[in-house]
Copies of this chain bind each other. A is one copy, B any other.
Amino acid sequence: MHFKNHVTRLSQYKAALQRLDNNNVERTHAETISTYIGIPATQIRKDFSLFGIRGNKRGGYNVKDLLEELKNILGLNRDIPVILLGYGNLGKALTRYQGFHEGCVRIVAAFDPGVGVLSSQPPIPVYPPASIPKFLKNNPVKHAILAVPNEVAQAIFDELYENGVRGFINFSTVSLNVPEDAYVNNVDLELELETVIYYTKESKNKV
């Protein structure tokens, strides 16, 4: 069992709980979460059961406690520093995104060869790629966002792996060669668009 779907759902539950907590809701139920995020209540309970999360029969779940448990399971109970590779279109969008500030993820630095010619002051430090090893020696960051061109993605990945980074989001559209003890989540936006197109074709191929 790889649990990819389970983990994704846990993260969704966490987001829902976060919102409930922000609205000062104190108790909730599987059924409530279900209507919030469109996942069947029975699936939610089954997931909780699998990860050892216990509620209160008839009383549902205490929002703060459940949120805390979910964060613990996901590893979000502490600040997570992340570095960004490639301060281009996508990289800039990610650094400017306010949503991350509410969670525990912090993009602490970016690396881009265009560092010298940046027009405006970026909200985080941007360094030349050559300084990656030194930076990681001083700041043992374990997670990276790859928003670099396809051509350099594997090389950059290898260098980061060499220097201790183990968790990656890869926005490039190449499939990386990844050692056993690293984890890469490929987010291919072209592909996401194409699946939408398939499902909205007038004449689906009957299979």
* Residues of A bordering B, CB below 8 Å: 1, 3-4, 7-8, 10-12, 14-15, 36-38, 50-52, 73-76, 80, 82, 89-90, 92-94, 96-97, 99-100, 103, 105, 142-143, 145, 166-169, 173, 175, 182-185, 187-201, 205, 207
Contacts and interface: CB of A to CB of B under 8 A. Distances in A.
Contacts of A7: 194-195, 198-199
A96 B89 contact: yes
**Copy number in this complex?**
2
Contacts of A82: 193
Given A75-B198, A93-B93, A201-B75, A193 B8 contact: no
* Residue with the highest number of chain B CB atoms closer than 10 Å, among A105, A142, A193: A193
Contacts of A37: 175
A93 B103 contact: no
Closest 7 A/B residue pairs (Cβ): A167-B200, A75-B201, A89-B93, A183-B199, A93-B93, A167-B196, A11-B194
Given A82-B193, A94-B189, A168-B196, 20 more contacts: A7-B194, A7-B199, A11-B190, A11-B195, A12-B188, A14-B194, A15-B191, A52-B205, A52-B207, A73-B198, A74-B194, A75-B197, A90-B93, A100-B193, A105-B197, A142-B200, A143-B197, A166-B200, A185-B195, A187-B187
A3 B199 CA distance: 10
Nearest to A90: B93
B173 A196 contact: no
A41 B200 CA distance: 28
A71 B11 CA distance: 34
A128 B25 CA distance: 36
A76 B52 CA distance: 45
Contact of A191 (B8, B75, B89, B191): B8
Nearest to A177: B38
Contacts of A94: 89, 189
Contacts of A205: 51-52, 73
